[in-house]
Chain A
Amino acid sequence: MSNIPDELSYTKEHEWVAGLDDGITVTIGITAYAAEALGDVVFVQLPEVGSTVEAGDSVGEVESTKSVSEIYTPVGGEIVEVNQAVVDDPSLANSDSYGDGWMFRVRVEGDPEDLLTAEEYSALTSGES
C-alpha cells in the first residue's frame, strides 16, 4: 500500500494537488502509487513557465524504463513555476513523490476538475492493484 497523505487532493490520473485551500497557487505532482506503477522514472517533461492551461490539459510527460504517461493538470490557469530539480534528477519522482519530486505550480483561474479526497483516492488505487 503506497503512501497517500490526508491533506492532499488527488485526480483519477494519479496526480496530487496541494494548496487548494488558499485558492491562489497550487502545486501538482504524481502520486507514489503512480511512481511505483511506472518504475524508475528516467525523464520528466514539464510545461513552459508563463503558459496558460485549462483543466484536463496534458501538460507534460513522465517516462520510466518500461513506459511513458502524460501529466494532466486538474486546474486551469497560468504555469508559474516548474520543478527543475525533478527534470535534472527524475528519480525524485520515485524517492519523494510528495516533496522534492513535485512537478509544477499553477496560479488558479476558474474551478478545478472534480478532485478526490485521500480516502477516495485510496479506494481507487486499492481497486486497481
Chain B
Amino acid sequence: MSRPTPLREIHESLGATLTDFAGWLMPLRYGSESAEHNAVRQAAGLFDLSHMGEIFVTGPQAGQALDYALVGHLSALAPGRARYTMIVNERGGVLDDLIVYRLGDEEFMVVANASNYEKVGEELKNRAKSYNAVVEDRSEQYALIAVQGPRAQEILVTLTDADLAGLKYYAGLPGLVDGRQALIARTGYTGEDGFELFVANQDAVPLWHALTEAGRPYELRAAGLSSRDTLRLEAGMPLYGNELGVELTPFDAGLGRVVKFDKPGDFVGRSALEAVKDTPPRRRLVGLVARGRRVPRHGYPVTKDGAVVGEVTSGAPSQTLGKPIAMAYVDNGADAGLAVDIRGSHEPMDLIELPFYRRNK
C-alpha cells in the first residue's frame, strides 16, 4: 500500500488522479496536465511534495560531517543559504542528488528524493559517526508544499511578513505563513521562480487552503507530478533514476561542478572522483528536439546512421516548445544526424545544449 500525504483528502476532493510514486500515493494530475504546466510557466502552480525526505544534521561538527559525507563544501555555506549537491558511494556513483539548507551554525536540513531518503538517512548516520553531530530523519514529520511560477511571490507575500523580496534564489528562512511556522525556501524544480514551504504535517491542510485562497486572484492552480516532470525536463534538471543513478558519477552527468575537491579533508568518493575528473566521459547529457510529433521516451535508443549512439533518459511533449523533447546520453562527437528509435521507426532529432527553457529574470 502506498503511503498517503497529509493532503490526500484535498487531492481526492479536487478530483486528482492519484498514483504510486516511490511508495507514496501522490497526485499525478488534477485535470489537464498541460494546463497545470502552463499555469506554472505563466502564473503559478501549487504542489504537494510531501513525499520528499527531510534529514536534519545538527551539532558542533554538523558542517564537517556533511563535508565528509557529501561531495559539496557544506561547512562553507552561510546560514540561510542552500546548495544543490550529491551523495556518492566509494566508487563515485551517485546515490542521490540533494538540496542542503543551512538553518543555523549547527543545523542543516538535507532534502532527499522520496525514492532514496531512507538510504540517504542511513548513509549519513554511518558517515557522521566519528563527528560530533546527530543525524535525524524527520521526513515523517514534515509536509512540503511548493508555490512555483512568476506570480508565486505576489501570492505568498499576502500570507507572510517574511522578507520574500530579500530572499535570494537558493536561500531559506524560518517564518510564519498564515500564522503557521514554516521554513520558507526559494527553491524549486520547475525552472521558475518559486517557494518551497516545509511545515509540520498538521499544518499542511490549512496552509494548502490558505494558499489556494490567496492564489485565486493570481490564477494559481493545483499541479501534479506529471506537470512537475515536464517542467523540470524543459528546465534541463536531472531526475534521479533517469539522468542520475549509482552507475554514473557526477562527471558523467555533466555535473562535476558540484564536486568540491578543494574543501579540507577527505570525503566519501574523493579518490574515485579524482581519478575520473579529467577524463571526458564517453557520453554526455544533451537535449533532443523531435522534428516530428512522436515522443521519445525513457530507455529508447538514440541512433545515427542506424547505429546506437546513446539512450533517452527522459522524454515528453513540451508545452513551451510545442514539440516533443528529450534528455539523452549521447556519444561524444555524435552531434548531427541523430534519430531516436521510437518503437521501430527512426525519428529525426536535433541536438541542443540543455536546458530547453530558461526563464526571463
Who on chain B is nearest to A66 by CB? B226
Stretch of B141-149, B237-245, B291-299, B330-338 that contacts chain A: B291-299
Known A63-B295, A65-B230, A66-B226; contact A43-B29, beta-carbon cutoff 8 A: no
Known A63-B317, A65-B33; contact A39-B226, beta-carbon cutoff 8 A: yes
Quote the shortest CB–CB distance from B243 to chain A (angstroms): 17
Q: Is A40 an interface residue (CB 8 A)?
A: yes
Q: Mark B23-38, 1 if CB is under 8 A from A, else 0.
A: 0000011001110000
Q: Is B316 an interface residue (CB 8 A)?
A: yes
Quote the shortest CB–CB distance from B312 to chain A (angstroms): 13
How far is B226's CA from A61's CA once the two chains are assembled, in angstroms? Answer: 20
How far is B297's CA from A61's CA once the two chains are assembled, in angstroms? Answer: 14
How far is B230's CA from A94's CA once the two chains are assembled, in angstroms? Answer: 19
Who on chain B is nearest to A87 by CB? B293
A65 and B294 contact, CB distance less than 8 A:
no
How far is B233's CA from A65's CA once the two chains are assembled, in angstroms? Answer: 12
B226 and A43 contact, CB distance less than 8 A:
no
B294 and A43 contact, CB distance less than 8 A:
yes
B317 and A42 contact, CB distance less than 8 A:
yes
Interfacial chain A residues near B28, Cβ < 8 Å: 39, 66
Q: How many residues on chain B are close to A (CB under 8 Å)? A: 17
Interface hits, B2-17 → A, CB 8 Å: 17
Interfacial chain B residues near A66, Cβ < 8 Å: 28, 33, 226, 229, 316
Quote the shortest CB–CB distance from A1 to chain B (angstroms): 12
Quote the shortest CB–CB distance from A6 to chain B (angstroms): 25
Who on chain A is nearest to B224 by CB? A39
A43 and B317 contact, CB distance less than 8 A:
yes
How far is B17's CA from A94's CA once the two chains are assembled, in angstroms? Answer: 15
Who on chain A is nearest to B293 by CB? A43
Quote the shortest CB–CB distance from B325 to chain A (angstroms): 12
Quote the shortest CB–CB distance from B33 to chain A (angstroms): 5
Interface hits, B25-57 → A, CB 8 Å: 28-29, 32-34
Quote the shortest CB–CB distance from A98 to chain B (angstroms): 19
Q: Mark A61-73, 1 if CB is under 8 A from B, else 0.
A: 1010110100000
B295 and A39 contact, CB distance less than 8 A:
no
Known A39-B226, A42-B317; contact A65-B34, beta-carbon cutoff 8 A: yes
How far is B316's CA from A43's CA once the two chains are assembled, in angstroms? Answer: 11
Q: Is A83 an interface residue (CB 8 A)?
A: no
How far is B292's CA from A45's CA once the two chains are assembled, in angstroms? Answer: 12
Interface hits, B268-311 → A, CB 8 Å: 293-295, 297
How far is B316's CA from A63's CA once the two chains are assembled, in angstroms? Answer: 10
A40 and B32 contact, CB distance less than 8 A:
yes
Q: Mark B333-357, 1 if CB is under 8 A from A, else 0.
A: 0000000000100000000000000
Quote the shortest CB–CB distance from A13 to chain B (angstroms): 17
Known A40-B34, A42-B317; contact A63-B294, beta-carbon cutoff 8 A: yes
How far is B295's CA from A45's CA once the two chains are assembled, in angstroms? Answer: 12
Who on chain A is nearest to B316 by CB? A65
How far is B343's CA from A94's CA once the two chains are assembled, in angstroms? Answer: 24
Interface hits, A59-102 → B, CB 8 Å: 61, 63, 65-66, 68, 94
Interfacial chain B residues near A68, Cβ < 8 Å: 295, 297, 343
How far is B173's CA from A51's CA once the two chains are assembled, in angstroms? Answer: 64
Who on chain B is nearest to A94 by CB? B32
Q: Mark A30-59, 1 if CB is under 8 A from B, else 0.
A: 000000100110110100000000000000
- Tell which of A40, A45, A94 touches B294, judged by Cβ atoms closer than 8 Å: A45
A65 and B297 contact, CB distance less than 8 A:
no
How far is B33's CA from A42's CA once the two chains are assembled, in angstroms? Answer: 11
Quote the shortest CB–CB distance from A12 to chain B (angstroms): 21
Interfacial chain A residues near B29, Cβ < 8 Å: 39
Q: Kindly list 19 other residue pairs between chains A and B, CB separation below 8 angstroms, not including A40-B33, A65-B230.
A: A39-B32, A39-B33, A40-B32, A40-B34, A42-B34, A42-B293, A43-B294, A43-B295, A43-B317, A45-B294, A63-B294, A63-B295, A65-B34, A66-B28, A66-B226, A66-B229, A66-B316, A68-B295, A68-B343
| 6 pairs, CB–CB < 8 Å, chain A vs chain B | A39-B28, A43-B295, A63-B294, A63-B317, A65-B226, A66-B229
Chain B contact residues, CB within 8 Å of chain A = 17, 28-29, 32-34, 226, 229-230, 293-295, 297, 316-317, 324, 343
Chain A contact residues, CB within 8 Å of chain B = 36, 39-40, 42-43, 45, 61, 63, 65-66, 68, 94
